[in-house]
C-alpha cells in the first residue's frame, strides 16, 4: 500500500486536481474533470483509515470521531498545499483531497475576462 505522501506526489505528477480515497476501490484521481482509478490495489477500510489518520493530529482525530466529518488543510514542504475532507461513507472512513498550488495564478493565467480583475 502506498503512503499518503506517495499518492500526493503521484497526484502532482499526473496534474490531478483531486484524490479520492474510499474503501472497495483503488485510489482515484480527478484529471481534467475525469475520475481515473490508479494502478494501486483496492483499498481496504483499514487502509483508508490509516491513510486519513496519517495526516491528522490528535485534536483533529477527536473532532472527526465526534462529528464524523472534518475539513482540513496542510502543506508538504517541496510538494504543495492541500485541502481536504474526511467523512464516513457506508460506515467507513473516506477522504477527498484537493491540491492548492503554492503559486497564486493571475486572472489572465486562469483565463478570466479582464472585467473580473
The sign of the torsion formed by the CA atoms of 26, 30, 32, 34 equals positive
The span from the CA of 54 to the CA of 26, in Å, is 18
Task: Count CB atoms within 10 A of the CB of residue 57.
Answer: 11
pLDDT digits (tens, 9 = 90+) for 84-103: 999 999 899 999 999 997 77
- DSSP 8-state code for residue 41: P
What is the architecture of the domain spanning 4-116? 2-Layer Sandwich (3.30)
Q: Is the pTM of this model over 0.95?
A: no
Label residue 26 by pLDDT band (50, 70, 90): very high
- pLDDT level of residue 117 (50, 70, 90 thresholds): low
Q: Look at the alpha carbons of 92, 8, 77, 17 in this order and tell me if their dihedral is positive or negative.
A: negative
Amino acid at each position: 500500500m502506498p503512503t499518503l505522501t506517495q499518492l500526493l506526489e503521484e497526484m502532482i505528477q499526473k496534474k490531478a486536481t483531486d484524490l479520492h480515497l474510499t474503501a472497495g476501490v483503488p485510489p482515484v484521481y480527478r484529471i481534467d474533470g475525469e475520475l481515473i482509478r490508479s494502478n494501486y490495489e483496492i483499498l481496504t477500510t483499514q487502509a483508508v483509515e490509516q491513510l486519513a489518520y496519517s495526516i491528522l493530529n490528535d485534536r483533529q482525530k477527536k473532532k472527526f470521531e465526534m462529528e464524523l466529518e472534518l475539513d482540513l488543510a496542510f502543506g508538504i514542504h517541496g510538494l504543495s498545499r492541500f485541502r481536504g475532507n474526511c467523512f464516513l461513507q457506508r460506515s467507513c472512513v473516506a477522504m477527498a483531497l484537493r491540491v492548492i498550488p503554492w503559486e497564486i495564478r493571475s486572472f489572465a493565467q486562469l483565463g478570466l475576462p479582464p472585467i473580473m480583475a
